[in-house]
Amino acid sequence: MKKLKQNNLQTLINNDRRRFLKLSGAAIVGSGLLFMTGCSDDDDGPGFEPNPDVFDLGSGNLGILNYAYALEQLEAAFYTRVLDGGYYAGANANEKQIMLDLYNHEVIHREFFKTAISSVVDASQVLPTLEFDFSSVNFDDRASVLGISKVLEDTGVSAYNGAGQLINVGDAAGLTYLGLAGKIVSVEARHASAIRDLLNPGSMDFAGDDILVGLGGTQKAYDKAQLPPEILAAVIATGFVVTPFTANNLPTE
Q: What is the pLDDT along the chain (253 residues), one digit of tens a residue?
A: 444 444 444 444 444 444 433 333 322 222 333 434 444 444 443 344 556 778 988 888 888 888 999 999 999 999 999 999 999 999 999 999 999 999 999 999 898 778 777 776 788 888 889 999 999 999 999 999 999 999 999 999 999 988 999 999 999 988 988 898 899 988 998 999 999 999 989 877 666 666 655 677 676 556 677 899 999 999 989 999 999 998 999 887 7
Residue at 37 is within a domain: no
Q: Are strands 222-223 and 245-246 parallel, antiparallel or unpaired?
A: unpaired
The verdict on residue 252 lying in a domain is no
Classify residue 64: in a domain, yes or no: yes
121's CB contacts (< 8 A; 6+ apart) are 27, 29, 62
Looking at the domain assignment, is residue 131 inside a domain?
no
Query: Quick one: angle between helices 93-120 and 2-24, nearest 10?
Result: 40
CA 9 to chain centre: 19
Note whether residue 189 is domain-resident: yes
| Inside any domain, residue 30 | no
Q: Into how many domains does the chain fold? A: 1
Q: Which domain holds residue 64?
A: 2-21+55-126+137-246
Q: Is residue 169 situated within a structural domain?
A: yes
Distance CA 2, CA 220 (A): 42
Strand residues in 29-72 grouped as ranges (E): 55-56
Its pTM surpasses 0.75? yes
Q: Where are the alpha helices (H) located in the chain, listed in sequence order?
A: 2-24, 60-83, 86-90, 93-120, 142-164, 172-199, 228-238
Exposed, middle or buried: residue 149 (CB in 10 Å: 0-12, 13-18, 19+)?
buried
* Domain annotation covers residue 6: yes
